[in-house]
Structure 1
Amino acid sequence: MTQQRRKILLLDNGKEWGGGTNSMLELLKRIDRQRFDITCCFYYNYARGEGETIGQVLNGIGIPVIFLPQSAQPLWAKIAKELGRSLVFFSRPGRKKVAEIIDKQWRIQPNAKRVRELLQRERYEILYMNNQPGSNQEGYLAAEPLNVAVVQHCRIEPVMTPQITGMVNRIASKVIAVSHAVESVLLRNGVEKSLCTTVSNAIDIHQPLPDGKTIKQAMGIADDTFVFGSIGSLIPRKSSHHTLEALQRFSRQHPDAKWKLILVGEGPEHQKLQQQANGYGFADRVVFTGFRNNPLDYLAAFDVFILASKSEGLPRVVLESMLLKTVVIGSDVTGTGELIDSGHTGLLYPYGDTVTLAAHLQTVWQGSTLREAMTQRAWQQVVDRYAIEHYVAGVEAVLYAVKTTRTHHV
Structure 2
Amino acid sequence: MNILFINSARTWGGTEKWVRMAAESLSVSHKVSLVYRRAVVGDKIAVHKYRLPCISHFDLYSLAKLVEIIKKDKIDILIPTKRKDYVLAGLAARICGITNILRLGIVRELKIPIVHKLIYSTMADGIIVNAEKIKQSLLKSRFMQQANIKVIYNGLDTDRIDQQSVSAIEKPFPFIISALGTLTHRKGFDFLIRSFNRFLKNVPDADAGLFIIGDGPKKDKLIALSETFGIRSRVIFLGFLQNPYPYLAASDVFAMTSTNEGISNALLEAMYLSNASISTRSGGSEEVITDGENGLLVDYGDEERLAEIIGRLYVDRQLTATIARKACQDGIRKFSLQKMKDELSSFGTEIQNRKPTKGNAEVPR
Q: TM-score, normalised by structure 1?
A: 0.79
Correspondence 1:21 to 2:16:
yes
Question: Which residue of the other structure, out of 113, 123, 127, is the alignment partner of 2:78?
Answer: 127
- Give the whole-Å Cα distance in 1 for the aligned partners of 2:54 and 2:137: 31
Point out where structure 2 has 5 or more consecutive residues left out of the alignment.
Answer: 357-365
- Give the whole-Å Cα distance in 2 for the aligned partners of 1:38 and 1:394: 16
Correspondence 1:371 to 2:365:
no
Correspondence 1:324 to 2:277:
no
- Give the whole-Å Cα distance in 2 for the aligned partners of 1:245 and 1:213: 31
Which letter does structure 2 place at the counterpart of 1:67? R
For 1:175, the equivalent position in structure 2 comes to 127
TM-aligned CA distance change 1:209 to 1:292, over 3 Å: same
For 1:41, the equivalent position in structure 2 comes to 35
Rg larger in 1 or in 2? Answer: 1
- Whether the 8 Å CA contact 2:133–2:284 is kept in 1: the answer is yes
Which letter does structure 2 place at the counterpart of 1:358? A
For 1:56, the equivalent position in structure 2 comes to 43
User: Which secondary structure state, in structure 1, belongs to the residue aligned with residue 139 of structure 2?
Assistant: helix
- Give the whole-Å Cα distance in 2 for the aligned partners of 1:112 and 1:210: 38
TM-aligned CA distance change 1:324 to 1:209, over 3 Å: farther
TM-aligned CA distance change 1:349 to 1:381, over 3 Å: same
For 2:139, the equivalent position in structure 1 comes to 187
Deviation by residue 1:219-241 (Cα, 9 ceiling, x = unmatched): xx15xx32111111111111100
Which letter does structure 2 place at the counterpart of 1:130? T
Shift, 1:337, TM fit:
2.1
TM-aligned CA distance change 1:228 to 1:32, over 3 Å: closer
- Whether the 8 Å CA contact 1:202–1:386 is kept in 2: the answer is yes
Point out where structure 1 has 5 or more consecutive residues left out of the alignment.
Answer: 1-5, 48-53, 72-102
Superposition pairs of residues 3-402 of structure 1, within 5 angstroms: 6-34=1-29, 36-45=30-39, 47=40, 54-58=41-45, 61=46, 63-69=47-53, 107-108=58-59, 111-131=62-82, 133=83, 136-161=86-111, 162=113, 163-190=115-142, 191-206=144-159, 207-208=161-162, 214-217=168-171, 221-222=172-173, 225-402=174-351
Which letter does structure 2 place at the counterpart of 1:394? E
- Give the whole-Å Cα distance in 1 for the aligned partners of 2:180 and 2:267: 10
User: Which secondary structure state, in structure 2, belongs to the residue aligned with residue 208 of structure 1?
Assistant: helix
User: Which secondary structure state, in structure 2, belongs to the residue aligned with residue 144 of structure 1?
Assistant: helix
- Whether the 8 Å CA contact 1:226–1:365 is kept in 2: the answer is yes
- Whether the 8 Å CA contact 2:23–2:33 is kept in 1: the answer is no
TM-aligned CA distance change 1:335 to 1:113, over 3 Å: same
- Give the whole-Å Cα distance in 2 for the aligned partners of 1:324 and 1:195: 34
- Give the whole-Å Cα distance in 2 for the aligned partners of 1:344 and 1:31: 33
TM-aligned CA distance change 1:373 to 1:166, over 3 Å: same
User: Which secondary structure state, in structure 2, belongs to the residue aligned with residue 230 of structure 1?
Assistant: strand
Deviation by residue 1:205-230 (Cα, 9 ceiling, x = unmatched): 4552777893125xxx15xx321111
- Give the whole-Å Cα distance in 1 for the aligned partners of 2:275 and 2:68: 48
- Give the whole-Å Cα distance in 1 for the aligned partners of 2:261 and 2:138: 14
Deviation by residue 1:5-56 (Cα, 9 ceiling, x = unmatched): x22222111111111211221222222544x2222111222x2xxxxxx333
Q: TM-score, normalised by structure 2?
A: 0.88
Which letter does structure 2 place at the counterpart of 1:13? S
Q: How many residues align?
A: 352
Which letter does structure 1 place at the counterpart of 2:147? S
- Give the whole-Å Cα distance in 1 for the aligned partners of 2:72 and 2:339: 34
Which letter does structure 1 place at the counterpart of 2:168? T
TM-aligned CA distance change 1:345 to 1:184, over 3 Å: same
Which letter does structure 2 place at the counterpart of 1:181? K
Shift, 1:116, TM fit:
3.4
Which letter does structure 1 place at the counterpart of 2:12? W
For 2:362, the equivalent position in structure 1 comes to none
Between the aligned residues of both structures, percent identity stands at 22
- Whether the 8 Å CA contact 1:7–1:37 is kept in 2: the answer is yes
- Give the whole-Å Cα distance in 2 for the aligned partners of 1:291 and 1:201: 22
TM-aligned CA distance change 1:404 to 1:115, over 3 Å: farther
Shift, 1:70, TM fit:
5.1
- Give the whole-Å Cα distance in 1 for the aligned partners of 2:354 and 2:291: 45
- Give the whole-Å Cα distance in 1 for the aligned partners of 2:148 and 2:354: 14
User: Which secondary structure state, in structure 2, belongs to the residue aligned with residue 188 of structure 1?
Assistant: coil
Which letter does structure 2 place at the counterpart of 1:198? V
Instruction: Report the aligned-residue RMSD.
Output: 2.3
